[in-house]
Structures are given as structure tokens and as C-alpha cells.
Structure 1
Amino acid sequence: MKNRREEIRNYSKNINLLYVEDDVVSQEYTLKFLSPMFENIILANNGEDGFNKFLHNKVDIVITDINMPKLNGIEMIKKIQNENRNCYFIILSQHDESDIFLQSINLNVDGYILKPFSFDELLNSLEKVIEKFKLEYEAKNHKYYIEQYLNLMDQSNIISKTDTEGIITYVNDSFCKISGYKREEVIGKKHNITRHHENPNELYEEMWHTLKVKEESWEGVIKNQSKSGSTYYVRTIITPIKNIKNEIVEYFVVRDNLNTVVDDKKFLFEKIEENELSILVVLQIDEFDMLDKFYNASTVEKVEKNFAFQLLSYLPKEYSFVNVYSVGNGSFALLTEFEDFNKSELSLEKYLNDFVENVKKSNLEFEDMEFDLNITVSYAIGKYMLYEDAKEGLENALKQKTKVSFSNDSSIIASKEAKENLEMIKTVKIALDNFNIVSYFQPIINNKTKEVEKYESLVRLIDENGEILSPFHFLNISKKGSYYNKITQRVLENSFKILKTINTKLSINISAVDIENEQTRTQIFTLLEQHKGEANRIIFELLEDENVQDFEVIKDFIREIKSKGVQIAIDDFGAGYSNFERILEFSPDILKIDGSLVKNIEKDPFSRNIVETIVLFAQKQNIETIAEYVENETIFNILNEIGVDYSQGYYFGKPEELEQRNK
């Protein structure tokens, strides 16, 4: 019996059982038997109580006594069935009268057990009910899955049905859209209504031989002609549908619009020649050539294909291009007739700008990988040399990064070290999912007092083996996918949370990329509002980046947060892209002297001279200075002698957690 009860338990986790019994002894006795099998048991003390609890709970199985006060079991079952016919019922009764038994049969109860009963009898009834429940549940699931598949197929494919003579009996919306025909214009007509005159007769002879004689599916690419006379290509699968007697009763036709993703430029040029006047949009996945540096050829191809198949979904809903062409190396073309687009009364430039924004806001996901994509767009209107003009415009836009052509940064990544990078992306994703992106905090001391006056928040990743990784291992590769922004958001959350633990100032790193991200800016302002009494304890260290798209956004951001009492520090000053001109633009409160200058200051006079120059300049501008990589007492003494205000490094403390992480 134990094994049988375990089998029921394995399937009853999602089943809610209502047990109705007025006798306390029977109730306790039976519950001991039922409890190990069912996690969700609802107990009722009489028929009226049972019906009320049924109304307020999801109930799948009812086990009930007959003789009860207020409402007997038979009457309760009738009332429940009036509300829900999908319940299963098992009656436990002391009555063996034929009229009660007949009433139970008429109510289609699933089990009738006379008291006193053995648990083996109840177990037999439960097994039968569970088996019915299981079959019905699987049938519903199967039907639900089929409906979803059919709906997905109907939305993503061009579908039609014909009788055995090729007369059209059904077409979906996609068929009407691409062919230009309304349903009433094609239902009842032969399928050759869309046949292109250039297709050879041999194509159709071979098709019908496969379908009628061999009784097999036919597959191939067909050139079709729409109602307006334009050409479109479809990859077609025609399948014979048979009845139970194995007779063909109809043909089911599924087409994939090759105009959605066409890999041959000749189809594009043919289409341009057909139109009197066209709009050609050429777009490029930004920095697509970087793919070979991170991923293997197979991954690059998947990125390109997955983006191609989703491309139409990024277009604004007000107008849909039919033709999408893959022209190689992350470039694609959209083509439409000028007059057709002109009828929409849309601004082409705004339409394309919205298109670029839709791509930017979306994520490309496949095989547990996720990418932020950005594109550059160029367009041309005309007929002759149209592709060449649009392509030249795209190349110029990529070089100049002009707003006119909607130039944006790319987040696609690829490399020879594909395996390692893929593993690291996976590690980052797992860490984010498990709240293992954490913040460590390194003290910054006042050189005069040697007291800790600030901490810097430094991101760390804890991998599945518990190993703590520094940003060197994961941050750059995260910048190329959608995870970088999520890491920044997690760091901001961790950092503001620590304000409750420390009474010093807190320095948080943000990059130009972070500031340009609207979602990150919004999070920062929200956190500052939530902690407005402590905003004067926050320092944002600006990590500079040569790929800044809009300095005005950054300067506006700095002005706004400084108005809230936040300080700005320029990180790694004296190296990279930091320069004195940038100080005029950003008006920082603090300069963090680049560690490469500090760690060489003992032996390298040139490094010392640069540090002295920075400090002298900062003092004249009333800007504080912090030296990083202070590794020993000698370096500290030199910095103190020069006049550096603060020191940070292993000589004073390593980065560490200041509180237990809250998972």
C-alpha cells in the first residue's frame, strides 16, 4: 500500500482535495490516511460548510459523507455540480439503500464506499480518480499546447489549405497580406492565382507527382506574384492530409516568406527594378566586425540570423516593410515602394529613429545568451544606383557617428576565445540570477589624520565554486552584452544599502555608458531621492570612455546630481582619456590620480613630476586629490610630502565586505 500511496502523492501535488465529514473521530482517522498523499486538503464539518469552502477555493476532488447536518452530501454534490462539472466525487456512506446509490449514479460520482470501510477500498477509488484526473489534465495540456503551436504557426507563417483538386478552402491573414488578395477573392479559386509566369511547368508537374502519386510532402522555393503584380519568394511545404481510411482529403500549405530574410542581393535588385520609386533602408549592426574577436563563426552566424528573423518585430507598428534582405557582415536592407509608404503620412526620419530606439531597447536572446543590439541606419529614395547611395550613406554615418543616420554603439561581441567568453557570459548570468554580484569596500584615508573618511565601492562576482572574481575577469565582456547595465544596477543597490552601516562618505564608480543609459540614470535619481538626507555622503567616480555618444547628457547629469549635494570624482586621472580640458567640462570635486603613476613614484622621477603637477593644479582649483595603489609606507610618505589629500591602497586596507549579503 505504501508504494501505491507514494505514486498518488507524486501526481497529487497540484490537486486540491475537499474532505467533508461531520464525525470528529472519522475525520481524524481518515485525515491521517489522506495527509501523506495530498499536500492541499481543505476540511469541512458539514455539507453547507463544504459548499461554502468549495466556492472560495479551487477544488479538484471531493470526498464526502452522506448523512450530515444543515446540508447532506447528496445535496451538496448537486450544488457543487451546478457551479462546476469538472470536480471528482467519492462518497463515504453508512447507507446501502438503493435509492441513495441510484442518486449517486445519476450524479456520476466516481466512487461509492460503504462505512465502515478499509483504507484499501478508499485507495482503489483514489487511484481511479487520480488516473482520470491525470488523463484529463494531460488532454487539456495537449490541447493547450496544440492551440499555442497552431496560433504561433498562423502568426509566423503564410498558411493556406486546398481540396484535392487544388481549390483554396482557407487562407490566413499573412497569405492575404503578402499576396494582396482578400479572402473572398481567393477562397474557391485555384492555387495558381498567385503563380508567377516565369515558373516552369515542370516545377508544378513534379510537385503534383510528389503529392498525388507518391502521397508525400513537397518542399521547395516558389516565385509568386501578388495581385498588384509584384514578385515575392516563399519557401513552401505542402503536406497531404489523410483521413482514418488513409485517403487524402486536403492539402495543407505552409510558406516561409523569403522576403523576410533573403540572402541573395539579386532579389533585392530585382525588386528595386520592379518599382517606379523605392525607399531603401540599409542598416548595420554596429561594430559587427568585432564579433570575430570574441566568438566563433557559428555563434556569429547565429547572432546574425536571429537578429534577421526578429528584425521586422522592431519596426514601428504604424507601417510594416515586407521585404528584408541580408546583405552580409551584419548588414540588412528594407525595401518598400515610396508611394506605399507615403500613404501612411508618416515622417520617414521619425519612423527610422523609432526603429533604432526599438532595437536599442530590445534584447536578442538565444541559447541562454542575451545581447543588447544597436544599429546605424541610412536610407535613400530613388531607383537607379539606389543601393550604392544608401550603402555609401551608411559608411559615412558609421565613420562620422552622425545623428542623422542614427549612429549608436554596438553591444555585439565575438572572439577567437569564444569558449572562454561564452563561459564567462554564462557565469555572469548565473551570478546575477543568484545575487552573487556583490560589492566590496576599500577604505580611503585622510593623509594628515590617517583616519578612514571614505570607502570606495568595488564590484566583485562570486562564481558557482565560491571563487571571488575581480572586474578584470568579467566587466569588459559584460559591457558587450545586456548584463553590464544589470551589474551597474546591482552595484548601485548594494552601495546605497551600505550607507546604513558606515558613517563615512561612499565613492561609487559609474561610466559614461552608465550615464547615457536612461534606465540607470532613473535608478540613480530614485536612490538619491530615497536617501536624500545622505546624498552629501555620495561620490560618483566617473570612469571615462572614448566612446561617449552625448557629452551634453553627461554634463546635464553631473549638474543635476551636484545640485543634490553629490560630489564628482574623475577616476584614473593622468592616464587614458582624462585631461585638463575635461575638468573644465565636468567641474569635479575630486581627482583620483592614476595608479600607474603612484606605484612607480618611488623610482620614476617622471611619474613623480606628473603627480606633483596634478596636485598643484588641483590645489589651485580647490579640488581634492586621492592617490590609488598606495602599497607601502615609502609611497605614502612621498605622496604626503607632495600634498596629496587622501590615499587608497593595500597599505591601509584591502577591499572587503562590510556586511552580510542578503540573498
Structure 2
Amino acid sequence: MSTIRQSPPNQPLTLLYLESDATARTAAKTLFLSRFETLYTAENVEQAHLLYEEHRLEIDVIVTELSFPGAKGIDLIRSIREKNTFVTVVALCARGDTALIPQALELNVDGFLFKPFTQEQLFSTLDHLLEKIYLRYENTQNALLLKQYIDITNASSIISKTDPNGFITFVNDKFCQITGYRPDELLGQQHNIIRHPDMPKSAFKDLWATIKAKKIWQGVVKNRAKNGDPYYVKTTVQPILNANGEIEEFISLRHDITAIMSDKKQLFDYLSANALSVLILIQIEDYTVLEKFYDKGSVEKIEQTFGKTLLYLMPNPWGFQRIYHLENGLYAFAID
């Protein structure tokens, strides 16, 4: 039982090689080290079991005879497959191993080499299998990266997906949080469930014309939550195409920009949506004096502090939740 290390030109891979013939083991080492960084060799099934258990997390490929004196390589393959369905296995077949090949196929052996084999046959088999391994590693890595991209996008964006007809098929948690709807209230509905009446029909006509043409649409949309509150989102809608270039679905990513929309616009939107609102206006007296004696930055700090103090001092039973700063020392409270 021995271990040899050598650096290959590509991604490092590890091989477990089980061969009962000492001459064949020695001859194969140089060949295998042209494709693998690490080579573990065993002369019997027991040694192979021990090596696999010790290095199971690093072994990528197993090359083993199907039969040995007093033991069967097929038993080693079966034992390993019970623990690892992904490791690549190549079976070395002698003339008398024909009866074992169906069992090897059932165990999803990845390749066969029939003794005696040439160097070209060995390399051809190994290179084909190594290409599959590299592709599998690449796919695994891409899937891992994709999951992280999805996680960070879900954490930062308001996301929904629809079928080609505009019916909602997916919403993430942030979509439910901002709209106030549960997923079961949204799935199967169209986005007009959150459409605000202030949004012109021409905007959505442009949106649909753009995405139906398989292009990305971007814009600011005013929506209405379940409780009637308006909110603003910067929206990107992307058509998702299948392999034939046909639209499979639409995905929408949004960012809440309500906080950066002007208080004046938000107040007007609120009053338009709530015709019976109570409106209270408060003006800082002699505001021009502040502007005369203080710089712009200091005036803004005074206004911010004054607004927070007004909201704090407003009697709770009145139910005012926010204050609108309308500039030039003018503030507003509104409640429906």
C-alpha cells in the first residue's frame, strides 16, 4: 500500500488504484500520475477499504479489478456505492469477469477497461471520465454561486415572477412584506392587485410592449399595499427565454424608493387616495430669520429635529404615524 503525489496541469484530482499484480501496479503508476495529483494504491480489497475510509473526502476516481483471488472487486464497488454515489469508478475486467459486468452496470460503474489494454485505451477512457468530472465540479460550483446570488438578491430585492400571461407564480418574502399580502393571496393573481389608480395605463402598455418584445423594461412604479398605503418601487422586468428563444416567464426585481420620494409628493398621493383625510399644517414662524442667520446645513438639522419633536409631542390617541416635511419650515400631519 503506497501513496505518491504529483501536481497535474489542471485541477488536482485523487485516484485510488486497486491492482493485485505488483508488476501492473508499478507500470501503471507513471501513467496515472500524468492525470492525477495524488495516487493511492492497494494490492487487495482490505487495503482498498482502509484507504477509501481514510481518504473518502478527497478521492475522485477509483480504478479497481472486478475480481481477486479470494475476493471480488465488485464487493468493494458495492460497498463504496452505498456511501458515495458520485465517485467515479472504472472497472478493470479480465477474461473471466464477464459474469460480473451486469452487476457492475447495476452499480453505475462509469467505465470499463478490458485486459490487456493499451496506453492509448487507458488515456482515452480516463480523459473521457475526467472531462465529466471537471464538468460536474464546474456545475456544482456554478450552482453554489447561483444559490448565493439568489440569496443576496432575495435579501435585497422585492421579487416576483409571472407566467407569459402575467399571472403571478412566485413572490419572495420582501414582496409580501411591502404589499401586506400573503403568498396564497398573490399566487395566481395578476399584478393589478397592487396597482395604484394613479399609475397611467400608458405606463403598463409600454411595459408590456417592451417585455413582449423580449427586452428589459425599467421604470418607477407607484403601487398600493393591501391596507391602501402607496409605495414607490424602482422596477426592472426581465423576460426569461427558453432554449428556443420563447418567453418562458417574466421576473421582476424592485427596490423600495418610497423613503427618497419627496414628502410633498407622498402627501399629495395620500390625500388623493383618502378623500376624507384630516390635514394639519404647521409652519415655523419667522423661517426666513433662520435662513438669514444659519447656513443651509444647520437649517436642515433644525428642521429635522423640529419635525421629530412635533411627531413625538403629537397626542397618541390622534393616531398620526408620520410627519411630512414640505420644505421652507412647513410640516403636515394627515390621517384618514
Same topology, TM > 0.5: yes
| Inter-partner Cα distance in structure 2 for 1:250 and 1:267 | 34
Counterpart contact for 1:239–1:251, Cα < 8 Å:
yes
Within a 5 Å distance, the mapping from 1:283-298 to structure 2 comes to: none
* Match of residue 203 from structure 1: 203
SS, match of residue 64 in structure 1: strand
1:231 deviates by 2.3
Write out per-residue CA displacement over residues 427-483 of structure 1, whole angstroms, 9 at most, x where no aligned residue. xxxxxxxxxxxxxxxxxxxxxxxxxxxxxxxxxxxxxxxxxxxxxxxxxxxxxxxxx
* Match of residue 86 from structure 2: 86
Matched, 1:132 2:132: yes
* Match of residue 3 from structure 2: none
- TM-score of the superposed pair, with normalisation by structure 2: 0.71
Counterpart contact for 1:93–1:114, Cα < 8 Å:
yes
1:51 deviates by 2.2
* Match of residue 8 from structure 2: 9
1:111 deviates by 3.1
Structure 1 residue runs of 5 or longer lacking an equivalent are 1-5, 278-326, 344-380, 390-663
Equivalent pairs, count: 280
Counterpart contact for 1:164–1:250, Cα < 8 Å:
yes
- Distance change (3 Å), C-alpha of 1:218 and 1:91: same
- Distance change (3 Å), C-alpha of 1:167 and 1:108: closer
| Inter-partner Cα distance in structure 1 for 2:53 and 2:223 | 58
Matched, 1:383 2:323: yes
| Inter-partner Cα distance in structure 2 for 1:385 and 1:155 | 30
Write out per-residue CA displacement over residues 569-592 of structure 1, whole angstroms, 9 at most, x where no aligned residue. xxxxxxxxxxxxxxxxxxxxxxxx
* Match of residue 51 from structure 1: 49
1:221 deviates by 0.9
Counterpart contact for 2:14–2:38, Cα < 8 Å:
yes
* Match of residue 20 from structure 1: 18
* Match of residue 32 from structure 2: 34
| Inter-partner Cα distance in structure 2 for 1:152 and 1:385 | 34
1:87 deviates by 1.5
- Distance change (3 Å), C-alpha of 1:94 and 1:245: closer
CA RMSD of aligned residues (A): 3.4
Name the aligned partner's letter for residue 262 of structure 2.
Answer: F
SS, match of residue 149 in structure 1: helix
* Match of residue 647 from structure 1: none
- Distance change (3 Å), C-alpha of 1:205 and 1:196: same
* Match of residue 290 from structure 2: none
1:95 deviates by 2.8
Within a 5 Å distance, the mapping from 1:238-387 to structure 2 comes to: 238-259=237-258, 262=260, 267-271=262-266, 383=323
Counterpart contact for 1:159–1:255, Cα < 8 Å:
yes
SS, match of residue 9 in structure 1: coil
Percent identity at matched positions? Answer: 31
Matched, 1:191 2:191: yes
1:137 deviates by 1.5
* Match of residue 74 from structure 1: 74
Write out per-residue CA displacement over residues 548-587 of structure 1, whole angstroms, 9 at most, x where no aligned residue. xxxxxxxxxxxxxxxxxxxxxxxxxxxxxxxxxxxxxxxx
1:243 deviates by 4.0
1:96 deviates by 4.7
| Inter-partner Cα distance in structure 2 for 1:128 and 1:253 | 41
| Inter-partner Cα distance in structure 2 for 1:194 and 1:253 | 14
- Distance change (3 Å), C-alpha of 1:123 and 1:384: closer
Write out per-residue CA displacement over residues 626-656 of structure 1, whole angstroms, 9 at most, x where no aligned residue. xxxxxxxxxxxxxxxxxxxxxxxxxxxxxxx
1:149 deviates by 2.0
1:20 deviates by 1.3
Name the aligned partner's letter for residue 248 of structure 1.
Answer: I
- Distance change (3 Å), C-alpha of 1:64 and 1:207: same
| Inter-partner Cα distance in structure 2 for 1:105 and 1:227 | 58
- TM-score of the superposed pair, with normalisation by structure 1: 0.38
* Match of residue 170 from structure 1: 170
Q: Which moved more, 1:248-257 or 1:175-184?
A: 248-257
Counterpart contact for 2:161–2:249, Cα < 8 Å:
yes
Name the aligned partner's letter for residue 202 of structure 1.
Answer: S
- Distance change (3 Å), C-alpha of 1:85 and 1:231: same
Matched, 1:108 2:103: no
| Inter-partner Cα distance in structure 2 for 1:383 and 1:141 | 49
1:202 deviates by 1.6
Name the aligned partner's letter for residue 66 of structure 1.
Answer: L
1:174 deviates by 0.7
- Distance change (3 Å), C-alpha of 1:119 and 1:160: same
Structure showing greater relative contact order (alpha-carbon pairs closer than 8 Å, 6 or more residues apart): 2
Structure 2 residue runs of 5 or longer lacking an equivalent are 1-5, 272-277, 280-299, 330-336
SS, match of residue 68 in structure 2: coil
- Distance change (3 Å), C-alpha of 1:385 and 1:199: closer
SS, match of residue 11 in structure 1: coil
| Inter-partner Cα distance in structure 1 for 2:11 and 2:240 | 39
Counterpart contact for 1:242–1:249, Cα < 8 Å:
yes
| Inter-partner Cα distance in structure 1 for 2:18 and 2:323 | 79
| Inter-partner Cα distance in structure 2 for 1:154 and 1:240 | 18
- Distance change (3 Å), C-alpha of 1:251 and 1:97: closer
| Inter-partner Cα distance in structure 1 for 2:199 and 2:108 | 62
Write out per-residue CA displacement over residues 405-445 of structure 1, whole angstroms, 9 at most, x where no aligned residue. xxxxxxxxxxxxxxxxxxxxxxxxxxxxxxxxxxxxxxxxx
| Inter-partner Cα distance in structure 1 for 2:16 and 2:97 | 25
* Match of residue 236 from structure 1: 235
- Distance change (3 Å), C-alpha of 1:53 and 1:256: same
Write out per-residue CA displacement over residues 54-109 of structure 1, whole angstroms, 9 at most, x where no aligned residue. 22312210111233356321211111112111121222343355323444344333
Name the aligned partner's letter for residue 51 of structure 1.
Answer: H
| Inter-partner Cα distance in structure 1 for 2:102 and 2:326 | 83
Counterpart contact for 2:263–2:325, Cα < 8 Å:
no
SS, match of residue 95 in structure 2: coil
Write out per-residue CA displacement over residues 250-298 of structure 1, whole angstroms, 9 at most, x where no aligned residue. 32211122236x3xxx524544785999xxxxxxxxxxxxxxxxxxxxx
Name the aligned partner's letter for residue 162 of structure 1.
Answer: T
1:206 deviates by 1.8
Name the aligned partner's letter for residue 50 of structure 2.
Answer: N
| Inter-partner Cα distance in structure 2 for 1:231 and 1:215 | 29
| Inter-partner Cα distance in structure 1 for 2:88 and 2:136 | 11
Counterpart contact for 2:223–2:231, Cα < 8 Å:
yes
Name the aligned partner's letter for residue 168 of structure 2.
Answer: I
